[in-house]
Amino acid sequence: MSEGIGARLRGARERKRLTILQAAERLHVDPDILEALEAENFAKLGAPVYVKGHLRHYAELVGESPEALSELYSQGTRVPPPDLTRVPKPMADDTGRLVAPAVIVVIGFAVAGTVWWGLSLSHRHWLIAASGPVPITVPAATPEPDQPVKLTVAGDTASAATRPTGGQSAAAHVPAHGDIEVIFVYSANSWTEVHDATGRRLLYGLSLGRATRRLEGVPPLSVLLGDASGVTLEVGGRPESFSPFVRADHTAWFLIAADGRVLAAPRKNGG
């Protein structure tokens, strides 16, 4: 491999005559994220799913191959095989007696940490970042039907209407004038990004397990799904199919028009 991921991204950006700040403005991200990608400081970006999402967007912007760079990243993060040539020296009996209690204590801390992490993960809420892109997770359980879902949107808070029950009217919630209402139903984990025609980011993060997300925005809405196989879509109360726009790697990028139709997203950089 003659060039790494960072060198290829930096070279492609310079050929486009873009600065880091200009590229970050076009992608609506913090410049630190693009600097981390070019420096191959992937640990700064969090989990691999976030790294791959940022890597794909940056590659599409500067005209690089998202698939090729994603493959390079996957190769670089594979765990190396254990070194079987290093044989540990036998320990003295006294040392062994001291190590055994220490190992038990370390294992106890590890188990306690794992339990704490699992409990805290189950109580996280879905957030939409108002400034820089912060990786977000959402609870696996679908919200109760009679509770409103609140979404934070670039400086203000929009609350989705409570689902109708019993004798309540199904038309109790009416979108604001000129807006379109969209519902995402998740049956599996999937990264989701949604922007409306004004550039406002409506959804941004990783949905875990089964969940339902309702949002409104000025059409057309731009939608990016990290794993479209576990997501269904409703627009204005009607199910809509986006299967023609699902790629071989199960990602999908499409637009939702004002009349509810699902359209192909425009190609970037003439690609």
Same domain assignment for residues 145 and 254: yes
DSSP E strands, the chain: 137-138, 150-153, 156-159, 180-186, 190-195, 201-207, 211-217, 221-225, 231-235, 238-240, 252-256, 262-264
- pLDDT, one tens digit for every residue, the chain (271 residues): 457 999 999 999 999 999 999 999 999 999 999 999 999 999 999 898 999 999 999 999 999 999 999 888 888 765 455 555 655 555 555 555 666 667 777 787 787 776 566 555 544 443 333 334 444 444 444 444 434 334 344 434 333 333 444 444 334 455 666 899 999 999 999 999 999 999 999 999 998 889 999 999 999 999 999 999 999 999 989 999 999 999 999 999 999 999 999 999 987 654 4
The pLDDT of residue 97 is: 63
Tell whether 92 is covered by a domain: no
Q: Does 156 share its domain with 248?
A: yes
Q: Residue 215: which domain range? A: 137-163+174-264
In-domain check, residue 54: yes
- Cβ 98 vs Cβ 169: under 8 Å: no
Cα 193 from Cα 206, distance rounded (Å): 9
Q: Which of 55, 76, 97 is the last residue of a domain?
A: 76
Shared-domain flag, residues 143 and 240: yes
Q: What is the pTM of this model?
A: 0.39
Q: Which of 35, 61, 76 is the last residue of a domain?
A: 76
Boundary residue ending a domain (31, 54, 76): 76
What is the predicted pLDDT for the residue at 80?
A: 53
**Is there a single domain that holds both residue 61 and residue 150?**
no
pLDDT value, residue 3 = 79
The CATH number of residue 25's host domain is: 1.10.260.40
pLDDT value of position 163: 41
Let me know if residue 124 belongs to a domain.
no
**How many domains does the chain contain in total?**
2
Is 131 a member of any domain? no
